[in-house]
Structure 1
Amino acid sequence: MLDACAEIVDEVGYEGLTTTLLAERAGVAIGSVYQFFPDKRAIVQALTLRNMEAYLERLGDRFSRGDLTYWWDGVDAAIDEYITMHRRVPGFRTLHFGDVVDVHLLDEDRDNNGVIAEQLARVLVEQFGTADAPRLRFALEIAVEAADALIKLAFRRDPEGDEKVLTEATALIREYLHRHVDAAPSAG
């Protein structure tokens, strides 16, 4: 059902998604949809959570290869994976991490990009020995918001992502974080 949901939101957007359309596309009875999801928001929330898990798994795979030496390599990898998901994961370009539905879709107390920033902070601390401080989390929240806006702009300009905008977005985020993120001397 989640795959069908992703296809539908790519075709008609969140507003065009209905539980009836989902049931038809998934080849299930409408009652089966309601057995798992009370409404379309819940379906999209499940798809968004799946996308976040996939994103974090993709990042984990990149980090486990051992070819990322410094924290900024991790930031570049995070941006690259986000762009790749826009290009290849059905429904992601439309839903991102659920902000089109509700900025608190992933967590009722924090906005979606705040959740992503928190996850990135955890990874940077664990993988690269980045200093774990409120300043890191704040800088990452700013960086995630800026990257999200610029990547959306790139995909509005070109269905595959305007490379000039994507290059500038990566440079902007990297330079911003270089000014605000402390790493342990033995990072890497």
Structure 2
Amino acid sequence: MSPDRRSLRTPPVQRRASDRIDEILAAAAEVVDEVGPELLTTTLVAERAGAGVGTVYRYFPDRLAILQGLADRNVRVLGERFASVASEAREDVLDDLTALFHAYVDVYRDLPGYRSVRTGEWLPSQTRPRGAVVVGLVDRVADIIGARSGAVIDADLRARFVDCFHVVDAVVAAAFVDDPAGDEHLLDLAYDVARAISRRRLGLLPSRLEVRASVGEPRPTLPSPRPTLPSAAPTLVAGDDARSLASVEATPPVAVAHEAAADAPQPPV
């Protein structure tokens, strides 16, 4: 998969040249995961690719062009995976959301260079406005969810999709800072955030109870809420008469009130 031609010094005109570019980018992805984008150099990439520095310069004029080439490749792969999700039939919108979420997490896990470069929004670009790449990706997500839910995805809703993507992406990215496989606690949090946002902020995700009812499944029996009783703040005293906090909390409020009345000083007769 070749990068966007705008990031190349010499666009490929032959299959061999295209293969060489893929090899350079594959080497760059390995190097950037090891040393980070700040320490990436054309020399390191050339050594890992088994090519001369001049060969790298032929297609990528500097390290920023290499990073941009990786970002273009990342965006292309992510778009292909989203398209794969859209091509598969699922029961409901929640299933689509789950599949999209897993597809996004998987690129962090199995696409070399993604954790370090991602979509390249942080790179300086003279060819496209900042944020255009994310908008394009989120448009695909919005179209998938909109097609399943039947909702009209207007400009305002698309803008909210972009905001929600940034929130979820921030948590997912944090999950991979120190763990190449992704911190499960943070990934669970990211998924919960994605579901909550889809339901409350976007208004597209019905509750699972509604979905089950629509397909004839029995609704689960929810536990009735426990009644909340007023409680007095416990008073702890030192010495033999001290009572534990647990015993105070376990004492019914009415009994606490009677005890307090009994302990209070009585007026003289």
Structure 2 equivalent of residue 121 of structure 1? 142
Structure 2 counterpart SS, 1:108? coil
Q: How does 1:130-145 map to 2 (within 5 A)?
A: 130-145=151-166
Aligned equivalents of 1:142, 1:21: Cα separation in 2: 37
1:18–1:40 CA contact under 8 A, matched in 2:
yes
For the pair 1:72 / 2:101, whether they are aligned, the reply is no
Contact 1:106 1:112 in 2 (8 A): no
- The aligned length equals 181
Unpaired runs of 5+ in structure 2?
A: 1-23, 205-269
Cα 1:107–1:119 change in 2 (3 A) is farther
Counterpart for residue 49 of structure 1: 72
The alignment status of 1:98 with 2:143, answered yes or no, reads: no
Q: 1:19 to 1:155 in 2, by over 3 A?
A: same
Aligned to 2:43: 20
Q: TM-score, normalised by structure 2?
A: 0.60
Determine whether 1:37 maps to 2:60: yes
| Kept in 1: contact 2:33–2:113 (CA 8 A) | yes
Q: Which has the higher contact order (CA 8 A, sep 6+)?
A: 1
- The one-letter code sitting in structure 2 at the alignment partner of 1:20 is T
Compute the TM-score of the two structures, normalised by the length of structure 1. 0.83
Question: In structure 1, what is the Cα distance between the partners aligned to 2:56 and 2:158?
Answer: 38
| Matching residue's letter, 2:38 | E
Give the Cα–Cα distance (whole angstroms) in 2 for the partners of residues 38 and 157 of structure 1.
31
Distance 2:88 2:126 in 1: 31
Report which of the two has the higher share of helix: 1
User: Runs of 4 or more off by more than 4 Å in structure 1?
Assistant: none
Give the percent of matched residue pairs that are identical in Structure 1 and Structure 2.
Answer: 33
Q: Name the structure 2 match of 1:162.
A: 183
The question of whether the paired residues in 2 share the 8 Å contact of 1:48 and 1:96 is answered with yes
Flag the 1:50–1:133 CA change in 2: closer, same or farther, 3 A: same
RMSD in angstroms over aligned alpha carbons? 2.3
CA contact (8 A) 2:33 2:115 kept: yes
Q: Deviations over 1:61-120 (max 9, x none)?
A: 233232x23333333222211111111111111111114534x69942535433332332
- Alignment deviations for residues 165-188 of structure 1 (CA, whole Å, 9 cap, x no partner): 2112111111112224366xxxxx
Higher Cα radius of gyration: 2
Q: CA deviation at 1:123?
A: 3.5
State the Cα distance separating 1:128 from its structure 2 match.
5.1
| Cα distance in 2, alignment partners of residues 135 and 61 from structure 1 | 26
Distance 2:158 2:39 in 1: 36
Please, which of 101, 106, 124 is the counterpart of residue 84 of structure 1?
A: 106
Q: 1:79 to 1:20 in 2, by over 3 A?
A: same
Which residue in 2 is equivalent to 1:2?
25
Bigger mean CA offset, 12-21 vs 53-62: 53-62
Q: Do the aligned partners of 1:117 and 1:141 also contact (CA within 8 Å) in 2?
A: yes
Against the structure 1 CA distance between its residues 105 and 139, is the aligned structure 2 distance closer, same or farther, given a 3 Å change threshold?
farther
Distance 1:41 1:69, change over 3 A: farther
CA contact (8 A) 1:106 1:115 kept: no
